[in-house]
């Protein structure tokens, strides 16, 4: 596809006898925020480092059709941040970013602009060792963006951020993606990705077992939910007909109660309202994204 910025194919890496990556493959799309999700220790960071050539591994990763080493100025192709900012602890934030900018061959004013963009202008004279985890995360993002790369890779960027800062991160990454940048961010929290990502790739047992648009993933989770209803017994035929017309399953649990799957609570309520069938109880046992993860960790679910 023309919008594919990065192609990851069959990455394999073992540490001793432990196969950490067992054929990891996925695509990153330009203008798209992709969440890379897996439990702690599932190999997310190993995958990111292998993609960037920081860790030897079998397989290949192509950035716009070429290995990263084939690009003359790789910092203009991809920027990455692992666990905040990397630099000498005694260096002050502004001087550190100026050095990064000089190394990337871009004007130092770019670093100053990024400090403003990530809301860290007031931290410009703080030493790196004195940064809080949340501040370090923001400075790390600024460092990754110094050369205005076309791909941005962030490892657990929400760690240490309070709810206000997480909202800032969500809006900031959306702005970056809207410029056409392909964004990949890892997390062990699927619910966090629901707010940030357009697409999700789920890593389990050393391979990507799900790669889907977030909307498709949420629709799949909805289909696993169970809605409990209570109704007038005389309305049972109308509800049965409704289930047949709209493709959801109705299982009677009593003369005036039923469990329904294949439709979420909101949509069911609207359909019953249109049909003028009153519901005396409407509750939902909804599968969380974490439940979804536990499900697909054992069965492959892939949507192009």
Cα distances (angstroms) measured from residue 69 to each of 60, 75, 100, 102, 242: 12, 11, 19, 20, 58
Distance CA 62, CA 194 (A): 27
- The confidence score (pLDDT) of residue 303 equals 41
What pLDDT is attached to residue 80? 96
Q: Which residue stretches of the chain have pLDDT < 70?
A: 1-2, 190, 221-223, 286-304
- List of domains in the chain: 4-213 (3.40.50.300), 225-286 (3.30.70.1150)
Q: What is the pLDDT of residue 41?
A: 81
| Residue burial 208-245, b: 16+ Cβ < 10 Å; e: rest | bbbbbebeebbebbbeebbbebebeeebbeebeebbee
Q: Quote the pLDDT of residue 290.
A: 57
Do β-strands 207-213 and 301-302 pair in parallel, antiparallel, or remain unpaired?
parallel
Per-residue pLDDT tens digits for 265-274: 889 999 999 9
Q: What is the pLDDT of residue 301?
A: 44
Confidence at residue 195, expressed as pLDDT on a 0 to 100 scale: 82
pTM (two decimals): 0.80
């Amino acid at each position: 596809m023309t919008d594919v910025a990065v192609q990851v194919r069959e990455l394999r890496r073992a540490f001793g006898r432990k196969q950490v990556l067992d054929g990891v493959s996925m695509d990153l799309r330009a203008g798209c925020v992709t969440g890379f999700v897996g439990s702690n220790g599932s190999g997310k960071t190993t995958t990111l480092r292998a993609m960037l050539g920081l860790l030897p591994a079998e397989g290949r990763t192509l950035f716009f059709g070429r290995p990263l080493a084939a690009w003359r100025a790789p910092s203009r192709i991809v920027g990455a941040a692992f666990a905040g900012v990397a630099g000498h602890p005694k260096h002050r934030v502004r001087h550190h970013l100026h050095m990064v900018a000089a190394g990337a061959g871009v004007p130092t004013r770019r670093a100053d602009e990024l400090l403003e963009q990530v809301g860290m202008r007031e931290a410009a004279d703080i030493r790196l060792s004195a940064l809080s985890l949340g501040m370090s995360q923001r400075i790390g993002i600024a460092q990754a963006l110094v050369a205005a790369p076309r791909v941005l890779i962030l490892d657990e960027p929400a760690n240490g951020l309070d709810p206000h800062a997480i909202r800032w991160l969500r809006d900031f990454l959306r702005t970056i993606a809207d410029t056409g940048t392909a964004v990949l961010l890892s997390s062990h929290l699927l619910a966090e990705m629901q707010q940030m990502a357009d697409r999700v790739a789920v890593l389990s047992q050393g391979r990507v077992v799900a790669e889907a648009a977030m909307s498709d993933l949420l629709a799949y989770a909805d289909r696993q939910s169970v809605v409990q209803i209570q109704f007038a017994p005389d309305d049972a035929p109308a509800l049965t007909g409704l289930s047949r017309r709209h493709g959801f399953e109705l299982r009677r649990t009593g003369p005036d109660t039923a469990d329904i799957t294949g439709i979420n609570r909101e949509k069911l309520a609207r359909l019953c309202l249109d049909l003028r069938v009153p519901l005396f109880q409407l509750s939902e046992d909804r599968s969380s994204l974490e439940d979804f993860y536990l499900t697909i960790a054992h069965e492959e679910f892939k949507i192009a």
